[in-house]
Amino acid sequence: MGDAEIIPIGTRGRPGRGTGSARPSAAARNLAPGTRPARPPEPPADEPDATTPSAAAAAPPRAVPPVTTRDRGPLAGIPAGDWLSAFRHAAQELFGDEWEPQLARFLAFLRRRVTGDYVVDEYGFDPEVTQRFLMAALRPIARKWFRIEVRGADNIPADGGALVVSNHSGTVPVDGLMTMVSIHDVTGRHLRPLGADLVFELPVISSMARRSGATLACTEDAERMLAGGELVGVWPEGFKGIGKPYSDRYKLQRFGRGGFVSAALRTGVPIVPLSVVGAEEIYPLVGNVPSLARLLGMPYIPVTPFFPWLGPLGLVPLPSKWLLEFGEPIRTDDYDEGAADDPMLVFNVTDQVRETIQQTLYTLLMQRESVFRGSPPKA
């Protein structure tokens, strides 16, 4: 009993295992009661332990190469003068000797657009954008793809108001764009088209049409433009002309109610008839989907020999040969002041314009050697 070991309460079980206390070491068990184990000796201050952070900080830093000696890529080290010389040489090879003036004009154009130093008329017409971008994009198509030949351009007045009346065809109204660029190239004047309501209801097309000089086909706008000395273009057949089947090609549809004639009579400007041959063959219309057209709010959904069967490739127009002939102007300044309010007179003048265009179409068709063959006109 006197030599028995006393185990404190709460430490039952194996000797040396308490609730949360570590097992004493062998050196601690051999110490006399009431004495503490000695602390391990601390290392000298001048001999830091290699495993401590201070020792790592005291290690010499790794050598970093200077910035100038780093590899900056295979083109590093080429002088700026050599870059400029290479750029000049490449630009001269691509654009010729006129690349520097062209670049200067383009930068000046950008500066004017950013600062707002450009003119837009009351209809939204932007002549600078139209000439630099729209005409530049349409000109290669007119000259190289359709090889347009223009006849009778001297019948277009050099200045003052005039009304150009043309037949309409081609499933897609490409003939209006080709007429615009052709008139601009031969006379220097901008044709101001009168467009249908649908043109100005489309989000992107409406803005482009306004910028290029088009306005709504109404009598009020037509009269204001003609009175202001503009060259106005109208296609009285409308969607009936461009949406007619290929079997009715070059057969003029009804010319509306003669609103364009009333505008010409009120302003006293000449009417210049225009006959276009070649547009009927770019998208031969062989069918229509009227139910889908009504659902989409379109005048028609065309079906051609290539669309929609070939997908986007079917939207490429066929390279037909085009002939544009401007007829002799029909004067309207000889009529009385109230001639525009005489429905019979308006009908007679409208029929005269229509018959002039129809007879010219028949003549041009006989003169055209082939639908798709024909050299571009000489510049």
pLDDT bracket for residue 43 (50, 70, 90): low
- Whether 264 has a pLDDT exceeding 90, the answer reads yes
pLDDT the model gives residue 103: 75
Tell which residue, 196, 153, 169, 177, has the closest CA to residue 280.
169
CA 284, 287, 293 angle in degrees (round to 5)? 115
Alpha-carbon gap, residue 174 to 179, rounded angstroms: 9
Among 99, 100, 129, 98, which residue's Cα sits nearest to residue 112?
A: 129
The distance from CA 74 to its chain's CA centroid, rounded to whole angstroms, is 37
Q: Which residues pair with 274 in a beta bridge?
A: 166, 326
pLDDT at residue 66 in the model: 56
Helix (H, G, I), strand (E, B) or coil at 217: coil
SS3 assignment, position 147: coil
Q: What SS3 class is residue 234?
A: strand
H-assigned helices in the chain: 26-29, 53-57, 80-95, 99-115, 127-129, 135-140, 174-187, 203-211, 219-227, 239-242, 259-267, 290-296, 343-367
Domains within the chain, CATH numbers bracketed: 127-282+317-367 (3.40.1130.10)
Residue 200 CB coordination number (10 Å)? 16
25 has pLDDT over 70: no
Q: Tokens 């000439």 map to which residue?
A: 131
Mapping DSSP to helix (H, G, I), strand (E, B) and coil, where does residue 324 land?
Answer: strand
pTM above 0.75, yes or no: no
Q: What is the predicted pLDDT for the residue at 14?
A: 46
Q: How far is CA 203 from CA 41, 127, 143, 177, in A?
A: 88, 21, 30, 19
pLDDT digits (tens, 9 = 90+) for 156-205: 999 999 999 999 998 889 999 999 999 999 999 999 999 988 889 888 89
| Cβ-defined contacts of 143-147 (< 8 Å, 24+) | 143/376, 143/377, 144/376, 145/317, 145/319, 146/178, 146/278, 146/282, 146/319, 146/320, 146/321, 146/322, 147/319, 147/321, 147/322, 147/374, 147/375, 147/376, 147/377
Q: Please give the angle made by the CA atoms of 243, 244 and 245, to the nearest 5 degrees.
A: 120
Q: What is the pLDDT of residue 165?
A: 97
Q: Kindly report the average pLDDT of the chain as a whole number.
A: 81
DSSP assignment of 271-304 equals EEEEEEESGGGSS---EE-HHHHHHHT-S--EE-
Confidence of residue 256 (pLDDT cuts 50, 70, 90): confident
pLDDT tens digits for range 354-365: 999 999 999 999
Q: Is 227 exposed, middle or buried (0-12, 13-18, 19+ CB in 10 A)?
A: middle
Residue 195, classed as helix, strand or coil, is: strand
Q: Identify whether the C-beta of residue 208 lies closer than 8 Å to the C-beta of residue 125.
A: no
Q: Give the CA angle between residues 12, 13, 16 to the nearest 5°.
A: 90
pLDDT in tens, 213-237: 999 999 899 999 999 999 999 999 9
| Residue 371 pLDDT grade (very low, low, confident, very high; cuts 50, 70, 90) | very high
CB 141 within 8 A of CB 329: no
Calpha distance 281→313 (Å, rounded): 16
Which residue(s) pair with 164 in the sheet?
233, 272
Q: What value does the CA radius of gyration of the chain take, rounded to a whole number of Å?
A: 43
Mean pLDDT over 110-132 rounds to 86
